[in-house]
Structure 1
Amino acid sequence: MRKKAVAILILYTGLLIYWMFFGFSRVQTEDYMYNLIPLSTLKLYIENFSHFPLETWLINLAGNIGVFIPFGVLLPLCFQKLWVIRDFLKVFLVGIFILELCQLSFRVGSFDVDDILLNTVGALTGFLLLRIFYIIKMHISK
């Protein structure tokens, strides 16, 4: 099971890197784009709901959560130590912070603290679903 999870994690990470740096018609910009104010991007989307097409909402809000759910499942399956939520969060936050910094450095996309928050919600959702699955599985097998 672990070998399959590692293979899926590697493939999914590659896919995610593609999405973050090349997908969605990303192009390199001249300016460094960033948001360091927590919840300001989310507030912008909520306050200007009717000004954004549904696709923008789905990609920026639901996408930033949903795309990271698999990491909440795969990381603990691949690395036993990451079954502890504190350790899981440390590793995930370092990884997502590095990815966001790379986007800023290469000027592809932006460094957005709100993306980090949404990505973390997604990863924690996957983590909690995995834990619930294992609790149910243990309860059924008794």
Structure 2
Amino acid sequence: MRKLAAIITISYTLLLFYWMFMGFGRSNRIAMGYSYNVIPFHTLKMYMNHADHFDMRTWFINVVGNVAVFVPFGIAIPYLIGIRVIRFTLSFIAALFIIEFLQLILRRGSFDIDDVLLNTIGAMIGYFVYWILMRIKAE
């Protein structure tokens, strides 16, 4: 079962890398300048305060999508390598910073601290689901 979970996790990770560096028109951004946000909740406040200026798809992808797509990692990584919550969270945040930085320097997106926050929330939701499933299994 772990081998299948590892294959699925690796495949999902590759898909996510495609989305983060190539998908959603990111290949067209190379000619554009650098884009970044280092102020926590700035982008989220913008989406809330100016909701009428964004279509639902944009809002959904940037808010709900940034949480939902990382939930599987919160389940799969602890299952595969038995990592505890603090180490998982710190390692996950470090990886997210690297990914966001790469998006910035490769001009395949932007560095947005709000993405790091939303992605981490998604992973933590997944870890909580994993924790509950392990509690149920132990009973």
Give the structure-2-normalised TM-score.
0.94
CA distance in 2, matches of 1:6, 1:16: 15
2:45 — aligned with what? 43
Give how far 1:15 is off: 0.3
2:96 — aligned with what? 96
User: Does residue 22 of the first structure (1) align with residue 22 of the second (2)?
Assistant: yes
Give how far 1:30 is off: 2.8
Give how far 1:8 is off: 1.3
Query: What are the Cα deviations for residues 88-109 of structure 1, in whole angstroms up to 9, with x where unaligned?
Result: 1121111111110110010111
Percentage of identical aligned residues:
47
Equivalent residue letter for 1:100: E
Trace 1:74-113 onto structure 2 (pairs within 5 A): 74-80=76-82, 82=83, 84-113=84-113
Q: Do 2:71 and 2:125's aligned partners in 1 also have CA atoms closer than 8 Å? A: yes
Equivalent residue letter for 1:102: L
CA distance in 1, matches of 2:92, 2:3: 20
Give how far 1:62 is off: 0.2
Query: What are the Cα deviations for residues 72-126 of structure 1, in whole angstroms up to 9, with x where unaligned?
Result: 011111112x1x1101112111111111011001011100000000000000000
1:60 — aligned with what? 62
Count of paired positions? 137
Mind listing any 5+ residue stretches in structure 2 that lack a counterpart?
none
Give how far 1:29 is off: 3.6
Give the structure-1-normalised TM-score.
0.92
CA distance in 1, matches of 2:79, 2:64: 24
| Superposed CA RMSD | 1.0
Does the C-alpha gap of structure 1 residues 123 and 29 become closer, same or farther in structure 2, counting only changes over 3 Å?
A: farther
